[in-house]
Amino acid sequence: MIITIIQRAVMQGTPLLLGSTGEILTEKSGHLNLGIPGIMYVGAISGVAGSFLYENSLANPAAINPFLAVFIPLICSLLGSVLMGLIYCFLTVTLRANQNVTGLALTTFGIGIGNFFGGSLIKLVNLDVPSIALSTTSTIFKTPLPFADKLGWFGDIFLSYGFLVYVAIIVAILSSFILNKTRTGLHLRAVGESPETADAAGINVTKYKYLSTCIGSAIAGLGGLYYVMDYANGVWSNNGFGDRGWLSIALVIFSVWRPSVSILGSILFGFLYVIPTYIPNISVSAKKLFEMLPYVVTIIVLIITSMRNKKENQPPAALGLPYFREER
């Protein structure tokens, strides 16, 4: 049973990990992107739409090309979420709009797109299918690593997930490395801490902001794709993704802006999410109180980090502030 709990915690945590890694990259450039929940919906639905059209264009689902079945939704998802990232960047960086307002509008828009196309895709393309269920594609997304079932508990805990879980972990480690150990990361952090200084040092602030936000959005969008293709077995249900987007933002704070900490944090959040299922005789209403825990824990972390006031655990100094070169 412990193995199942760990497995489910990891699977719950993966969308959060991808979402928070994306958000950390964005926040490091000084942009608090509250559009992440919307971007994750768009990432999910674009992947679903691509895969849905591909699956239904085949006469026989068994003849599906495994490479295309992964490639098409992946590319669609990335395109969709980068496009959302671009909208956000264009408004906040180029047009200097307020970040919070833009982000919230992006979330409304993105969740709208997700639910709208999720609910109306079948009608829009005039297909005669009862619901969006991409079981064939989902099986491919869920293929575990080789030897997963031959190595006992080790295989179950470490090798039994679909490839996006490993992508999520690699991306998080890679982001940590880039942020802390490379020149690019140093420049990016400089932009988030003090854009004026970065600009004076000859760093192209606008370019860094655009790139980090768009790459961040792409990563976050993958979280949505993982949720629907792997976790939800390829079945789209409206609002099924729930508040995971906001949980990702909570995870950013919980992991004090470090993608590597975020890996463990996401598993912990996933654990808090699945634990009520394993408590015997728990009422449905008490389960709701358990779902509150990740947010409470996040608030506590937020309070503690601000109390201890250690420099390396703070949000980027210029987070949420606009940067106008002419107004220095």
Identify the residue whose tokens are 């106008």. 324
The least CB distance from residue 136 to other proteins, in Å, is 25
Nearer to other proteins, 111 or 218 (CB): 111
Q: Which residues bind other proteins (CB under 8 A)?
A: 32, 34, 87, 90-91, 94-98, 100-102, 104-120, 123-124, 204, 206-207, 210, 238, 243, 246, 249-250, 253, 283-286, 288-289, 291-292, 295-296, 298-299, 302-303, 306-307, 309, 315, 319-320, 324-327
CB-side exposure of 250: number of CA atoms within 13 Å? 22
Query: What is the rounded CA–CA span in Å between residue 246 and residue 280?
Result: 29
Query: What is the rounded CA–CA span in Å between residue 108 and residue 249?
Result: 16
Nearer to other proteins, 113 or 157 (CB): 113
The least CB distance from residue 156 to other proteins, in Å, is 31
Q: Which of 278, 230, 189, 252 is nearest to 12 (CA)?
A: 230
Q: How many CB atoms lie within 10 A of CB 301?
A: 17
The least CB distance from residue 205 to other proteins, in Å, is 9
| Two structure tokens written together for 128 | 């005669």
The least CB distance from residue 165 to other proteins, in Å, is 25
Asked if 252 and 36 count as a contact pair (C-beta separation under 8 A), the reply is no
Query: What is the rounded CA–CA span in Å between residue 78 and residue 100?
Result: 23
Nearer to other proteins, 116 or 177 (CB): 116
Nearer to other proteins, 60 or 131 (CB): 131
The least CB distance from residue 286 to other proteins, in Å, is 7
Nearer to other proteins, 119 or 185 (CB): 119
Query: What is the rounded CA–CA span in Å between residue 249 and residue 116?
Result: 24
| Two structure tokens written together for 21 | 């890694």
Asked if 175 and 25 count as a contact pair (C-beta separation under 8 A), the reply is yes
The least CB distance from residue 170 to other proteins, in Å, is 27
Nearer to other proteins, 279 or 292 (CB): 292
Q: How many CB atoms lie within 10 A of CB 82?
A: 21
